[in-house]
């Protein structure tokens, strides 16, 4: 399995993500700059969390226009798996690889805590080791995590079962408590929770490991 992590100015979760992949997928990921124009051959491309360009303009808006994004968009549309975590989710919406947008939290405050996440389906690349409707506990850490999409768009993603996960209770004002979302082809996933921060019970939870085991299981099958 070939995994690539893309760094943007302000990315700060790259090493946590790389460690989670190395420890639980037994894969050493490639880490490349957003200034690259071509992404190496990859089964999975990850946009990790952080604050690309300081969240100026809109979170992810500047990063979505970096040179690497043209090839990322092409590869995503060709079926390569893409995972955007937190700021990565924001970048994916700004690049129009996922619908909707991420607004400031309803409280207008930064939220950093472990939250309950309900996994809605377990038949995708990212979730095959979960139980359907399983609740897991994974940290969030964001100021702009309030997922918004207009009414018709919300109905569409709900009808298409594109909602990957919901908060088990309201966290930031997200429409229908959406915490993660797939594209229409289910090969692109954006999520606000940080699974790479939930891989050791000594730090609160190891539920994030299930995401990484799911991806390896899917590839091996």
Contact (Cβ atoms closer than 8 angstroms) between residue 48 and residue 87? yes
Dist CA 171 CA 102 (whole Å): 13
Dist CA 82 CA 96 (whole Å): 13
Q: Mean pLDDT in the chain?
A: 95
Categorize the per-residue pLDDT at 189 as very low, low, confident or very high, splitting at 50, 70 and 90. very high
For residue 155, what are the domain limits? Answer: 3-220
Q: What is the mean pLDDT of residues 57-84?
A: 97
Please write the tens of the pLDDT for every residue from 97-142. Answer: 999 999 999 999 999 999 999 999 999 999 999 998 999 999 999 9
Just list the catalytic residues: 86, 194, 196
Closest CA to 6 of 87, 61, 77: 87
Using alpha carbons only, give the angle 167, 19, 33 rounded to the nearest 5 degrees. Answer: 95
Res 219 pLDDT > 70: no
> Helix, strand or coil for residue 40?
coil
**Per-residue CA distances from 215 to 24, 137, 163 (Å):** 10, 19, 18
Res 218: pLDDT: 61
Res 221 pLDDT > 70: no
Please write the tens of the pLDDT for every residue from 3-29. Answer: 999 999 999 999 999 999 999 888 899
pTM higher than the cut 0.75: yes
**Total count of domains within the chain:** 1
Contact (Cβ atoms closer than 8 angstroms) between residue 14 and residue 48? yes
Tell me, what CATH number does 99's domain have?
3.40.50.880
Q: Is 10 exposed, middle or buried (0-12, 13-18, 19+ CB in 10 A)?
A: middle
């Amino acid at each position: 399995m070939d995994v690539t992590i893309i760094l943007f100015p302000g990315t700060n979760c790259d090493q946590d993500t790389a460690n989670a992949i190395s420890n639980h997928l037994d894969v050493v990921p490639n880490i490349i700059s957003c200034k690259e124009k071509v992404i190496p051959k990859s089964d999975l491309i990850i946009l990790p969390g952080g604050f690309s360009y300081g969240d100026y303009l809109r979170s992810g808006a500047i990063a979505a226009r970096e040179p690497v994004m043209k090839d990322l968009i092409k590869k995503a549309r060709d079926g390569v798996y893409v995972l955007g975590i937190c700021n990565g989710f924001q970048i994916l919406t700004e690049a129009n690889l996922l619908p909707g947008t991420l607004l400031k939290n309803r409280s207008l405050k930064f939220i950093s805590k472990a939250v309950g996440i309900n996994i809605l389906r377990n038949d995708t690349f990212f979730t095959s080791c979960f139980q359907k409707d399983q609740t897991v506990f994974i940290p969030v850490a964001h100021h702009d995590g309030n997922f918004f999409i207009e009414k018709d768009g919300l109905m569409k993603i709900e009808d298409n079962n594109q909602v990957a996960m919901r908060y088990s209770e309201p966290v930031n004002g997200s429409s229908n408590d959406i915490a993660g979302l797939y594209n229409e082809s289910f090969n692109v996933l954006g999520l606000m929770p940080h699974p790479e921060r939930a891989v050791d019970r000594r730090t609160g939870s190891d539920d994030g490991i299930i995401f990484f085991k799911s991806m390896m299981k899917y590839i091996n099958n």
